[in-house]
Structure 1
Amino acid sequence: MLKGIPKIISPELMKVLLEMGHGDEIVLADGNFPAASCASRLIRCDGHGIIELLDAILKFFPLDTYSENPVSLMQVVEGDPATPTIWKDYRSAIKKYDQDFTSFEMVERFAFYERSKKAFAIVATGESALYANILLKKGVVVE
């Protein structure tokens, strides 16, 4: 164990976050996401929600300031009546660590799947909220 690392971040997840370089992407996937079939690197984080995981990750993870949209969400499928309230929580968590954050990139469902296949890693969570998948693009550490 080490000091200061939230217990929700497993050694495997911390290793992946450290190995990622500028521009690499990581997906935090909800419980309905086909994580195992999309991932080149799959990290299990069952039993945890994305909000607590996102908050823990953003303590260490710089978002890409060179990208217009360093955070992407899976947009609601046309005709689906779902209204993802979790997105407000995402915005609050992100603004806590990146006050310059302005907006999410909305990605069509199947395009999100394809982009996830190219991500550095996918973290499979137990998140039950619908349309809770979030993709983070890593930035540069300037400290």
Structure 2
Amino acid sequence: MLKGISPLLNADVLYALRAMGHGDDLIICDTNFPADSVARQTRLGRLLRIDNVTAGEAAAAILSLYPLDSFVDDAAARMEIVGNPTEIPAVQQEVQRAIDAAEGRSWPMVGVERYAFYERAKQAYCVVQTGERRFYGCFALRKGVIAPDAA
């Protein structure tokens, strides 16, 4: 255990968060996502896991350390529901609240069509699979920067 770091963030996830650079994507996915096969195509090349938690809990833990990219419009994205892309299910609302809380302001996620989301995930730095069983618990978060301390 480390003070100030969520116990949900295991050593493998902490390594990936630290290793990622500005503009790298991290995918948070549910249990139905083809996580292992997609993760093998990412920069890290292997699947990371935060088991037995919801996507919202995992997002809150990750975002406690991970800045979002303020230079792009799609730094926070969600997989759209097939046939109803504007619907925002409860799992996505929970992750939206985690994003807004971490950033201290409203930061709306953009929707990404299912197969386009798979392609974005393959280009990501890593995939973190959660224990989320609700459908459409899949998100892309693009890493931003931490500004230097004021002089």
TM-score by length of 2: 0.87
SS at structure 1 position matched to 2:81: coil
SS at structure 1 position matched to 2:26: strand
Q: Distance in 1 between matches of 2:126 and 2:94?
A: 23
Q: Distance in 1 between matches of 2:4 and 2:107?
A: 28
Match of 1:122 in 2: 127
Q: Distance in 1 between matches of 2:71 and 2:30?
A: 27
Match of 1:2 in 2: 2
Q: How many residues align?
A: 142
Paired residue type of 2:16: V
Match of 1:21 in 2: 21
Kept in 1: contact 2:80–2:112 (CA 8 A):
yes
- The one of 76, 98, 110 equivalent to 1:105 is 110
CA 1:25–1:83 in structure 2 vs 1: closer, same or farther (change >3 Å)? closer
SS at structure 2 position matched to 1:27: strand
Kept in 1: contact 2:99–2:107 (CA 8 A):
no
* CA apart distance, 1:53: 1.1
CA 1:36–1:83 in structure 2 vs 1: closer, same or farther (change >3 Å)? same
With 45-54 and 58-67 compared, the bigger mean Cα shift is at: 45-54
Cα deviations by residue, 1:51-95 (Å, 9 ceiling, x for unpaired): 111111111100000011210111000169x86112221121111
SS at structure 1 position matched to 2:78: strand
What are structure 2's unaligned runs of at least 5 residues?
40-44
Paired residue type of 2:91: I
1:132 aligns with 2:133: no
CA 1:98–1:10 in structure 2 vs 1: closer, same or farther (change >3 Å)? same
Q: CA RMSD in A?
A: 1.7
CA 1:84–1:26 in structure 2 vs 1: closer, same or farther (change >3 Å)? same
| Structure 1 consecutive aligned stretches of length 4 or more whose deviation exceeds 6 Å | none
With 53-62 and 94-103 compared, the bigger mean Cα shift is at: 94-103
